[in-house]
Amino acid sequence: MTELRWRIAIGADDAGLDYKELIRGDLERDDRVVDVIDVGVHATDSAPMPYPNVAHRAAELVADGAVDRAVLICGTGIGMAISANQVVGVRAMTAHDSYSCERSVLSNDCQVLTLGQRVVGAELARRLVREWLGYVFDPTSPSRDKVRLIEEYEQRLSSPET
């Protein structure tokens, strides 16, 4: 069996910049990752970028197929998840523990992991990202029908009225 090789977008607001830099380095050294696209913020930016702008940018890359997954970090992870979930076709969640991280992919086919720099320690955040990269949604699982319902609802919302 061939191991997946991920294309990953990573982003943060000012409250998640330190973890973004740490995790970006981990991703760049991970053999499972072939490309890391940094969507901001950067320490050299002259003005802060609001987390919705960062999350939308990364989620659009996922939705367009330019990347497979994204990791987003803000103070709590919540704002990033809410913002990324506004992009049709994207499922984002905030993880604070290994089990939620696992189930986000195996039960919900989430492509975006969000973390809170003010909520979890750096080593736990790094561990969650490593674990998350190892999970792949099984389209034959019983969860597939539930994910399909999410996708169908999104399609109804995004389709023009007839």
Please check the confidence at residue 136 and state whether its pLDDT lies above 60.
yes
What mean pLDDT do residues 104-123 have? 97
Number of domains in the chain: 1
Kindly state whether residue 123 falls inside one of the protein's structural domains.
yes
Kindly state whether residue 1 falls inside one of the protein's structural domains.
no
Higher pLDDT, 61 or 4: 61
Kindly state whether residue 16 falls inside one of the protein's structural domains.
yes
pLDDT band at residue 3 under the 50/70/90 scheme: low
Pairing of the two strands 6-12 and 69-74: parallel
pLDDT band at residue 91 under the 50/70/90 scheme: very high
Q: What is the pLDDT of residue 104?
A: 96
Is 74 an active-site residue? yes
Kindly state whether residue 68 falls inside one of the protein's structural domains.
yes
Kindly state whether residue 77 falls inside one of the protein's structural domains.
yes
Q: What is the pLDDT of residue 53?
A: 97
Kindly state whether residue 65 falls inside one of the protein's structural domains.
yes
- Give the 3-state secondary structure of the chain: CCCCCEEEEEEECHHHHHHHHHHHHHHHHCCCEEEEEECCCCCCCCCCCCHHHHHHHHHHHHHHCCCCEEEEEECCCHHHHHHHCCCCCCCEEECCCHHHHHHHHHCCCCCEEEEECCCCCHHHHHHHHHHHHCCCCCCCCCCHHHHHHHHHHHHHHHCCCC
Q: Which of 10, 36, 62, 74 is catalytic?
A: 74
What mean pLDDT do residues 121-141 have? 95
Please check the confidence at residue 48 and state whether its pLDDT lies above 90.
no
What mean pLDDT do residues 73-88 have? 98
Kindly state whether residue 127 falls inside one of the protein's structural domains.
yes
Q: What is the mean pLDDT of the chain?
A: 94
Please check the confidence at residue 2 and state whether its pLDDT lies above 70.
no
Range of the domain at 147: 6-158
CATH code for the domain of 23 = 3.40.1400.10
Kindly state whether residue 116 falls inside one of the protein's structural domains.
yes
Q: What is the pLDDT of residue 1?
A: 39
